[in-house]
Amino acid sequence: MGDFKVHHIRFFDYQPKSIQCLAYNSQQDRIAIGRSDGSLEIWSIKDDWFQEKIIPGSNDNSIEAVAWCGNRVFTAGIQGSIVEYDLLTLERKVVSWSNNGAVWSLESNMAETHIAAGTEEGCIVLYELTEEGLEYFKAFDKQEGRVLSLAWAKEDKLIVTGGIDNIRIWNTTSGHAIQRLTLGRQEVTKETLVWCVGVTKDFTIISGDSRGKTSFWNGKQGTLSRSYQSHKADILCLCMNKEGNSVFLSGADSNIIQFEYITSNADSAWRQWVRSSVYVHHKHDVRALVLTSRNFLVSGGMDCKLVYSQIEANKSKSHRKIAPIPQYSLVHLAKDADFVMLQYTDNLEIWKLGSTKAETGKIGEALPLHRDPMKLIELHSKGGNHIVCSAISRDGEYVAYSDTTTIKVFKIIQEQVTVMSPKLTIQKLKIGKPDHAHRLEFSAESDCLYVASKSGRVNVLNFLEPESKETTLSRKGDCMEPIHLMTLSPNGDYLATGDHGNNVQIFSTKQRKHICSLPVYSCQPTAIAFNQTSTELVVAYTNQKIVEFNIEEQQYTKWCRMALDSFPLQWLRQHNKISHVAFNPSNPDQILIHNEQMFSILDKSQPFPKQNTYLINKDGQPIKKDKVEHAFHLCTQFRYLMFADMVGPNFMLVVEQTPTSIVDRLPPALKEKKFGT
């Protein structure tokens, strides 16, 4: 393929947030993930584990529990409120208060009509679901000590809760406790906390507690039928299958242990709970476990990684760890000014790239730097609000970001550029108070800002003349799904958007109207980009296919038609989503695409390899092409790859965040003690 000069950046200090809770929605095949910074993520399993939506958190919103109710999602946390989210505008919709302190557990009933919340003050609060939101329905008798976990049982007639030193069974109609199961203590002064409870159809209660014991209780009689010291430390979460004969538990001791309800003897019908398999997928605390309807065991915890494994019998027990890197780009480039902007949770950093006078050098070696990179600006959001999206104009003169409330635009005035320490002033522009946006993009002349608004439209914000009338580009069709991709063509004539309804639409920025849409594909788009001549749009989808659409002819290009059916099978089998597409200015045939594990250059002028060709070997290294050149040129030496783009002819920018830098900053895992228990 050739040699490239690369700005190799490791100063993007992105720290992913740990997973607090998980909830699975079987109707939509989606998973909701609550993270420690209060943000909520929706992942689509259907689209091969695509990180679909992110609802940013805020400093006053923690997420301790998450629950689906039909297609609505609710979270609760230590601030004592239950929040419903709007999955179209991606913001908090309705907040209901528990009036009993922090909420530790949240569970909807089978009929999906009520939600029960376990609170700090020991009260279980029932809410009824209405169209507007949650309505307070009933509060049960107060118990001593917090309610840490709860589960509905017996066709919603009973609720089982786990608290401190005990498990209680409550009648949902009367609100009184009808049974109390007491747990022992390991040390007299140390309370036993029941972190998780589950109930099977035959009313066996399964609990995991702070002693590391898994207990199986007879719910009818309130007796302990079996107890195992399955873990060395607190068991924090459990999940069970639909039939209720298999349960998985994990916690501070990160082994996931499966118990199964099986006959112990071939000749007898007598069944008992026995430990069956151990899954070691994490090294740090596991905070949440769910089982999907296709028998995927999903786990997440302190190490920020989402891990899923197929647990069906007779299948290989392989698992996949999803890298804790967002599947969209947090890095923006102002190509004309050599600026790179890094988006953190609540601040932005703008760096000027370094430079070198050397034209070439030895492969793999650093070139002597003529100028070091410089951090020019660190811009913090007001009140520490979480940043949803940001943009920088091509000339580096304007910066915009949207937090959870509004959009802000700044002008950067460079006074002394040539000296070692340039002087910069930053000036906030008055633009009123528009609603927050999902994506932002500056126009080619940097005179207006395209805003993918929460209403699903694209607004044109003329920030230089704030008094002028705001224009809107309306999307075609009745899809209300939020826009998650937006890009402007190099000549500024076209704007393309991609949304979660699988639509990719192209607008003319001059006429300010929709001109065409791509055929609706069965998968969601993950990255879009216009080529250098602004005539073709390249779209990458979750199934790893890449299409090229000619805007003037309004159809797929010839190359695309050929390519669609001939992608190598190994390419299609990979799971990491393509998060960015770019083009080599010196060769219009070369498309640069990357995911978090590798980047590849797709050369359109070269033939596709045979479909059974292997591109990567078992160690994840590209296989050397011995005889025939083909279109795929892979590079796997950067990991995790946050961003890759071309900054000039054969000159790239690569932003890398190494896995070790993430792991190093995690809190210590459970220490394994060897002697003297």
Residues that bind other proteins (CB under 8 A): 1-11, 229-232, 262-266, 275-276, 278, 354-356, 360-367, 369, 372-373, 502, 519-522, 545, 555-556, 564-565, 567, 569, 572, 601, 611, 622, 624-625, 633-635, 637, 652, 674-677
Amino acid identity at 287? R
Write out the E strands in 604-650: 632-635, 641-648
For 94-157, the DSSP string reads EEEE-SSS-EEEEEE-TTSSEEEEEETTS-EEEEEE-SSSEEEEEEPPP-SS---EEEEETTTT
For residue 640, whether the previous peptide bond is cis, meaning omega lies within 30 degrees of 0, is: yes
Q: Vertex 243, ends 239 and 249: CA angle to 5°?
A: 20
Least distance (Å) from other proteins to the CB of residue 230? 7
Of 151 and 330, CB closest to other proteins? 330
Least distance (Å) from other proteins to the CB of residue 192? 18
331, two tokens: 């890095």
Of 360 and 427, CB closest to other proteins? 360
Least distance (Å) from other proteins to the CB of residue 74? 28
Of 269 and 363, CB closest to other proteins? 363
Least distance (Å) from other proteins to the CB of residue 674? 5
Of 178 and 278, CB closest to other proteins? 278
For 201-240, the DSSP string reads TT-EEEEEETTSEEEEEETTTTEEEEEEE--SS-EEEEEE
Of 426 and 623, CB closest to other proteins? 623
Write out the E strands in 518-566: 525-530, 536-541, 546-550, 555-556
Of 267 and 467, CB closest to other proteins? 267
Of 367 and 431, CB closest to other proteins? 367
Of 54 and 635, CB closest to other proteins? 635
Least distance (Å) from other proteins to the CB of residue 521? 6
- 589 touches 631 (CB < 8 A): no
Of 7 and 92, CB closest to other proteins? 7
| Residue 649 to residues 2, 64, 335, 583, 671, Cα–Cα distance (Å) | 12, 49, 12, 10, 51
192, two tokens: 């036993």
**Closest residue by Cα to residue 150 from 256, 241, 76, 258:** 76
Cα 173 to chain centroid, rounded = 39
- 230 touches 275 (CB < 8 A): yes
119, two tokens: 């609170």
Least distance (Å) from other proteins to the CB of residue 618? 18
Q: Which residue has the tokens 């920020």?
A: 304
Of 6 and 464, CB closest to other proteins? 6
SS3 at position 241: coil
Least distance (Å) from other proteins to the CB of residue 251? 14
Least distance (Å) from other proteins to the CB of residue 565? 5
Least distance (Å) from other proteins to the CB of residue 520? 5
SS3 at position 66: strand
User: CA–CA separation, 52 vs 25, rounded Å?
Assistant: 14
Least distance (Å) from other proteins to the CB of residue 318? 18
For 510-523, the DSSP string reads TTTEEEEEPPPPSS
**Closest residue by Cα to residue 677 from 191, 236, 232:** 232
**Closest residue by Cα to residue 258 from 214, 301, 218:** 214
Of 111 and 262, CB closest to other proteins? 262
Least distance (Å) from other proteins to the CB of residue 315? 16
Least distance (Å) from other proteins to the CB of residue 266? 6
Of 144 and 312, CB closest to other proteins? 312
